[in-house]
Amino acid sequence: MAGLENLSERDRAVLRSIFDPTATIGDVVDDGDNFPEDEQSKESDEESIRLSSEGVGLAEAGRLEEALETLTKGIQVAPDRAAGYNDRAQVFRLMEKDDEAMSDIDRALHLTEGKRSRARALALCQRGVLLRKRGADADARAAFTEAAKLGSGFAKKQVVELNPYAALCNQMLSQVMRGEDIKL
């Protein structure tokens, strides 16, 4: 087929969804993350970033208590750096301390109010995940929608997945493509 190289990414995604009827549009459209850069202007931010990196490494090694201590030090060094709260919220989630995680997420969102930043988008995604876990899908969809507007590819997929009409359309398309009768 000539001319496929001239198709937009959206057009390619639609074609992929037709040829793979089990895929949702969210699965085949990978816009990736497209976040505005966060500001890093203070010396304390650099120290906080170093501590956050160390804390993330500890968490990845399964040393969650040490990670929590290190991330807390990073927050103490730069209490206005939202990304530190996001990192610590992730560790709280791994420790199944969802209330503490939500508290850190709320702090990150407060610090990024009115800003278009990676830290805000990540906090919104974490909020959405926790809200889904709690069964608050409407509130989760709102968090993911805002994160998607900020450039989160993950959030875009979650918005599609949480849309009951999109899920029904995907199910019907899959049935048609498999030659089945549509079941509502």
> Amino acid identity, residue 156?
K
88 in Cβ contact with 58 (< 8 Å): no
Centroid of chain to Cα 92: 16
Integer angstrom CA distances of residue 41 from 37, 44, 49, 78, 119: 12, 9, 12, 11, 15
Amino acid at position 171, single letter:
Q
pLDDT at 58: 92
pLDDT for res 163: 76
- Residues lower than pLDDT 70 in the chain: 1-41, 164-174, 181-184
Q: Does residue 25 contact residue 106 with C-beta atoms inside 8 Å?
A: no
In this predicted structure, what is the pLDDT of residue 10?
56
CATH number of 43-164: 1.25.40.10
pLDDT of residue 26: 41
Residues 130 and 102: beta-carbon distance below 8 Å: yes
Q: Convert the pLDDT of each residue in 83-106 to its tens digit.
A: 999 999 999 999 999 999 999 999
Quote the DSSP letter at residue 42.
Answer: S
**Cα–Cα dist 31/145, whole Å:** 15
Model pLDDT, residue 45: 84
Radius of gyration from C-alpha coordinates of the chain? 20
Q: What is the pLDDT of residue 24?
A: 40
Q: Classify residue 175 by burial, with Cβ atoms within 10 Å: 0-12, 13-18, 19+.
A: middle
How far apart are the C-alpha atoms of 109 and 19, rounded to whole Å?
A: 40
What are the structural domain ranges in the chain? Answer: 43-164
List the structure tokens of 171. Answer: 């199910």
For residue 29, what pLDDT is reported? 41
31: which residues sit within 8 A by CB, 6+ positions away?
9, 153, 156
pTM: 0.69
| Both tokens assigned to 124 | 């919104």
